[in-house]
Amino acid sequence: MREKQEHTISMTRIRWEIHRAFYSFWTGPLMAVILMQIAALLFMGAKGAGRIYLNLLPLLLLISLAGWLFTSVAHGNRKVLVYSLILLTVGTMLQCIFIEELVIRTGTRDPARTGIASLELQYLVSLAAALAAGIVYFCTDFIARKKTAVLMAALAVGLSLLTLVFSEGVGGVKNWISLAGISLQTTEISKLLYIPVCAYILGRDRETDRRTLAFFYGYTFLSLLLLAVQGEFGTLLLLLLVFLSLHLLFVSDLSWLLGVVLALTAGGGILAAIGRKLTQMQLDGSGARTGALVRFYLDAYSKISNRFIYWLNPEKDPAGLGYQLLKAKESILLGGFFGTSSVTDLPVKSSDLVYPALIERCGLVFALLIFIVFNLLWLEEMKVFIRKKQRYHQIIAAGFGTLVFYQALIIIAGSTGLCPLTGITLPFISSGGSSLLVCFIMTALIIAVSGNIPWKGGMEE
Amino acid sequence: MAVEWMTLLSAAAVILLIAFIIFILFRANNDLARAQEEGEHFVDEWAEREEKLEEKRRLRKAREEELKKMEEARQEQAAFEADYRGRGKKEGDGRQKQPGPVRDQKADPGSQKQPRRFPDQKESRPALLLLELDENKRILRRIPVDHIPFRIGRSNDNDLVLDDLCVSRKHVSIERSGDRYVAVDLGTKNKIFSGGKLHDQLPLEAGVRFFIGNIEMLVEMKR
């Protein structure tokens, strides 16, 4: 079923591809993006972080040019790249401001201590990984093979188990693992691997039979269970939404989806009722001697229920569980339409509460525009899904497209008080090497999918 | 005072950035659409270049084969003549005339007086090329119609197999009608869709676009 096409690489071809990619450079959107990246220097200068941004600017330009060349060679969707570059530029600006604020607070400009060196390394590694992933996906059907799918599923489960065993746990969440001095957020890797594994399961045939569904449900349940045990409920919610989206789009029989939704609702209700009963028993003193499993269950239950309680009434505990949301709201009010220079001390401003931090520093109008860019990115990714004819590529485009969009939606809504706050990152903008790496790879894969891929998706010979 | 100035400057910079992003969002659409159209000539240029190279390679190979055959025939002829002369000489010496070796007429192209001509395969081939287009009207592949009738459909026994559920197993046959080419629908449900109408027969001329199922084709005549 695979279509074989010979690729000839010659210097003439390389010269021709470079010529084709950059022939309209001076009038094209890439030039506008690069000008925006340079114009951001003015803003960064006003914020006092011009020097730090200047260090990262060459890397941003390199990423833009390399991304453009790759997109052009693959005949990919350039709008996906342009929107991602806008988001990456904003993310870089914000990280530079945070570094400058850290420099003012600590009084040191040592690149290693302030995190500039680490940020530069993250950008380079992410670019290399994204290009490698994009080229491999474009040129070979390696990712769609059975052995690779099994390997990816085993890697995702293995990494989660390793994290459970070796992670120290931060704030009740076990999602970090240190390898040779480099911290890795394994839940991000599991999230990335979930989509190709599901694409392999669902992409083999147009009609999904019971066996396929059993694999799909089984792998999803295992992934969600491991995330729940790790205490990573934000990513759990994200994967659940992606699972429901893939189910809706790629399982033609809607009665199965209805069954899944009913089962999830009933299961959630039962779990909540058990949690309420156990909490009541503990308060009464009848459950004084409880096992580890019950303690774990009660911890998770109180964590999730507290999110809802302090989302609705953060002023109940202004110095404790409602502190983050109250400070986020304060930042939003302080930011006004075009930002302010007098910033408040916002907790987890570089990761979970990055959107209120963006509003505070750049204003509501700018932040709203960034939200619109996320929406446009999602629309373009959905266009890729609709236009692709082969099922495997469709699942990859729809999976990564919805993943990025839901992630942005959950954290933006959570940090602005529109829904309970969960600890996930805002794609391209939040700090974190694992998150950045995964975002780069996802974008590269979507661009590769949107191009003229020479192999047919997911069909086994 | 300084803080106020910095706030003002940063607000101005934010407005500039907002303007830039809006500019990129609005212009990117037009620029990319134009670039897409302009970029097509690069794709065509490369495809044409590859086609020319392929044609050159094919002609060179055919010429080499022809020369090889002629060389073989020449050697055989020389061997025959040498043998014949040898026998003639012996006969002149007074011996009984022996019948010469029977000449294999097929293996002796020299005897048939074939003109040494460069094989022009274009004569035997229809000058028709179908270009499969994607959703963005970009060329996915070029399909030379190398014989008539040329059958298109979903099943594997067609000359061109299209993997689309809206294409019938035997959908279209390209045939010659006088000195023109015609795409004939083979009694399918979706027929041939072109110019907003369904056709049973569609004359194929350069620049004609038509759909077979969901797959768009563009006709090109070889120069």
DSSP notation for B55-76? HHHHHHHHHHHHHHHHHHHHHH
The tens digit of pLDDT for each residue in A268-293 reads 899 888 888 888 887 777 655 567 77
> Where residue A193 falls among pLDDT bands split at 50, 70, 90?
very high
Mean pLDDT of B45-58: 76
- The residue-averaged pLDDT of B41-53 equals 68
HSE of A222, CA atoms in CB hemisphere, 13 A? 19
Residues of chain B with Cβ-Cβ distance to A382 below 8 Å are none
User: Average pLDDT for residues A102-127, to the nearest whole number?
Assistant: 82
Which H or E run contains B20? Answer: helix B2-92
Output the pLDDT for position B35: 59
pLDDT in tens, B170-193: 999 999 888 889 999 998 888 899
Phi, psi dihedral angles at B153 (to 5 degrees): 180, -170
pLDDT of residue A458: 53
Mean pLDDT of B63-82: 88
DSSP A353-392: THHHHHHHHH-HHHHHHHHHHHHHHHHHHHHHHHH--SHH
Mean of per-residue pLDDT scores for chain A? 85
Say yes or no to pLDDT of A398 above 50: yes
**Tell me, what's the pLDDT at A5?**
45
Q: Does A39 touch chain B (CB under 8 A)?
A: yes
Residue B30 pLDDT level (bands cut at 50, 70, 90): low
φ, ψ of residue B174 in degrees (nearest 5): -95, 120
Q: For residue A429, how many other CB atoms are within 10 A of its CB?
A: 29
A142 in B contact zone (CB under 8 Å): no
B151 phi, psi to nearest 5 deg: -100, 140
Q: What is the pLDDT, as a whole number, of residue B114?
A: 45
List chain A residues with CB under 8 Å of B42: 16, 19-20, 23
CA distance to B70, B80, B103, B125, per residue, from B116 (Å)? 9, 21, 21, 21
Decide if A363 and B11 are in contact by the 8 Å CB cutoff: yes
- Predicted pLDDT of residue A170: 61
Residue type, A63: I
- At A460 the pLDDT is 41
The span from the CA of A83 to the CA of A71, in Å, is: 13
Question: What pLDDT shows up at residue B1?
Answer: 60
Q: Which residues of A touch B32 (CB under 8 A)?
A: 28-29, 78-79
What's the pLDDT score for residue A319?
76
Say if the Cβ atoms of A43 and B16 lie within 8 Å: yes
> Which chain B residue has the Cα nearest residue A337?
B11
A339 and chain B: CB distance < 8 Å anywhere?
Answer: yes
A32 touches chain B (CB under 8 A): yes
ipTM confidence? 0.74
What would the mean pLDDT of A394-409 be, rounded to a whole number? 93
pLDDT at B172: 94
Average pLDDT, chain B: 77
With cut-offs at 50, 70 and 90, classify the pLDDT of residue B104: very low
pLDDT in tens, A27-58: 778 888 899 999 899 888 888 888 889 989 99
Report the residue from A27, A39, A341 with minimal CB separation from B20.
A39
pLDDT tens string A147-190? 999 999 999 999 888 888 877 666 566 677 777 677 778 888 88
Highest-confidence segment of A117-126, A279-288, A399-408, B110-119: A399-408
Number of inter-chain CB pairs under 8 A, A vs B: 107
| Contact residues on chain A for B13, CB-CB shorter than 8 A | 39-40, 42-43, 45-46
The alpha carbon of residue B122 is apart from the nearest alpha carbon of chain A, in Å, by: 25
Of A449, A402, A439, give the one whose Cα is nearest residue A84.
Answer: A439
Mean pLDDT of B29-34: 65
pLDDT band at residue A246 under the 50/70/90 scheme? very high
Lowest mean pLDDT across A244-253, A281-290, A294-303: A281-290
With tokens 């120290």, the residue in question is A168
Nearest-angstrom CA–CA distance, A312 and A316: 9
| pLDDT band at residue B53 using 50, 70 and 90 as cut-offs | confident
- A178 forms bridges with which residues in the sheet? A183
Confidence tier at A243 by pLDDT (50, 70, 90): very high
- The residue ranges of every structural domain in chain A are 1-139+313-461, 145-251
**What contacts B119, CB < 8 A, 6 or more positions away?**
B59, B62, B63, B66
Does residue B45 or residue A366 have the better pLDDT? A366
Q: Torsions phi, psi of A46, nearest 5?
A: -65, -30
In chain B, which residues touch A (CB < 8 A)? 3, 6-7, 9-18, 20-25, 27-29, 31-32, 35, 38-39, 42, 46, 134-135, 138, 140, 163-164
Mean pLDDT is lowest, of A89-98, A173-182, A301-310, for: A173-182
Residue of B16, B23, B25 to mutate, interface with A, max A Cβ within 10 Å? B25
Best mutation target among A24, A77, A85, A334 (most B Cβ atoms within 10 Å) is A24
Distances, alpha carbon A447 to alpha carbons A22, A312, A354, A381, B97, in Å: 18, 40, 26, 9, 84
From B14, B24, B140, residue closest to A86, measured CB to CB:
B24
Confidence of residue A112 (pLDDT cuts 50, 70, 90): low
Confidence band, pLDDT 50/70/90 cuts, at residue B94: low
> How high is the pLDDT of residue A60?
94
CA distance A82 to chain B (A): 8
Report the gap between the CA of A106 and the closest CA in chain B (Å).
21
Contact criterion met (CB < 8 Å) for B32 and A79: yes
The pairing of strands B150-153 and B160-161 is parallel
Partner-chain contact A341 B10, CB within 8 Å = yes
Which chain B residue shows the shortest CA-CA distance from A47?
Answer: B10
- Across the interface, whether the CB atoms of B38 and A24 are under 8 A apart is answered yes
Rounded percentage of chain A residues whose pLDDT exceeds 90: 34
B chain contacts of residue A363, beta-carbon cutoff 8 Å: 11, 14
The pLDDT, as a whole number, for residue A172 is: 60
More confident residue, B29 or A148: A148
Which has the closest alpha carbon to A423: A243, A164, A235? A235
Residue A10: C-alpha distances to residues A13, A14, A22, B140 (Å): 5, 6, 19, 21
Under the banding of pLDDT at 50, 70 and 90, the label for residue B115 is very low
pLDDT tens-digit series, residues A7-25: 566 777 788 778 777 877 7
Using a CB–CB cutoff of 8 Å, tell me whether A28 touches chain B: yes
